[in-house]
Amino acid sequence: MTDYALAVDLGGTKVEAALVDSAGGLLAGSRHRRPTGAASTSDELAAAVTEAVQDALAALPAGATLLGAGIGSAGPIAGTTGDVSPLNLAAWRDYPLGGLVAATLTSAGFPDRPVTLRMDGICIAVAEVWLGAAQGETNVMGMIVSTGVGGGLILGGRVVAGPTGNAGHIGHVAVAGFDDRCACGAIGCLEAVASGPRTVAWAREHGFAGETGEQLAAAAAAGDPVARQAVERSATAVGRAIASASALVDLDVVAIGGGFSHVSDDYIALVGAAVAGHSDFGFVTKTRVVASGLSGEGPLIGAAALVHRADLIG
C-alpha cells in the first residue's frame, strides 16, 4: 500500500491540509482548507488547523501508512521546536503548532508519528527542487508572494535554515528606494511594499477604488494606470530584493509562487527584468526568476517533502 505524509500549510488567510504520497501526488479528496486571518482568535486558529487536519486524515485509504506530518508555516518560527509566531496572525505568538498537530494525530488514532515544522519559504524551495521549476539546481531560493512575502534557501544542495529556522525570510529584507512601514516594526521591508494587501493599499492611496487583489488584477489587465503601476511597483521591489540576495549568496534560480504572483500575466517577467537590470555584476544578473512549477499545490508538496525528502532538510 501507499505511504502518505500529512501536509499542513499555514498562512495569513488560510490553512490547508492534505495527504501526499512519496511521489509528491496529493490524494484526491484529502485536501481541505479553513480560513485564518489577522482578526482570528487563538482558539479560532487552533480550530481551523484541527478541522483541516482531521478532514485530511479521514481520507487515508484502508491499509495505507501514515509516515508523519510536515508543516509549512508563515514566519517567524522558533527553530525546530514547532512553535510559531506568524506576523500576520497576531493571536499566535510562540504558539505550539507542532504540538497541536501531534495531538490531533494522536486523537485521530495516529500516535507517535513524527511532526516536522519549517518556515513555508523553505517548504516552497524544497518542493521546487524536488518536483518543480528548480529540479537539478543546487543554489535556489523559493519565494511566496501572497498575504505576506516569504522565502527559503537551498545552497549547495542543502537547506539553510539558520539557528532560529528563519534564514531566507526575504520578506523582511529592506528594499532600497522604499520607506513603507512594516508590521514587524522596520521600514522598507519587502513584505510591506510588495505583498498583495500592501500593494492594494498603496493603489487605494493613489486613487484605486477596488479592495482586493483580484480586483486589482482585473483593473490592471483592463488598463487602469494606477493598478498597473501598483503591480509594477510590487514586482520591482521583489526583483531588487532578489538581486540583493543573489549578491550575498550567489543564487542560480528563484522560483516564485503564491496567489499574488499571478496578479498579472507578466509579473514574473517584471521581477526578472528588475534583477537583470540591477547592476553590472554578472553573478547577480544571471539569476533566473521563474514561476513555481507546482501551481497552488507547491506549499503542500513542500510540507510533505519534510517527511518524504528529509535528505534535503538536514
Q: Phi, psi at residue 158, to the nearest 5°?
A: -130, 145
Give me 110's grid cell: 495516529
Q: State residue 1's pLDDT score.
A: 67
Dihedral (Cα; 256, 300, 43, 57), 10-degree rounding: 170
DSSP 16-49: EEEEEETTSPBPTT--EEEE--TT--HHHHHHHH
Q: State residue 125's pLDDT score.
A: 94
Q: Could you tell me the pTM of the whole model?
A: 0.90
Q: Phi, psi at residue 270, to the nearest 5°?
A: -65, -40
pLDDT digits (tens, 9 = 90+) for 219-278: 999 999 999 999 999 999 999 999 999 999 999 999 999 899 999 999 999 999 999 999
Whether pLDDT at 20 is above 70? yes
Q: State residue 71's pLDDT score.
A: 97
Could you say which DSSP state residue 6 is in?
E
pLDDT digits (tens, 9 = 90+) for 286-308: 999 999 999 789 999 999 999 99
Complete domains list, the chain, with CATH: 3-121+297-308 (3.30.420.40), 135-292 (3.30.420.40)
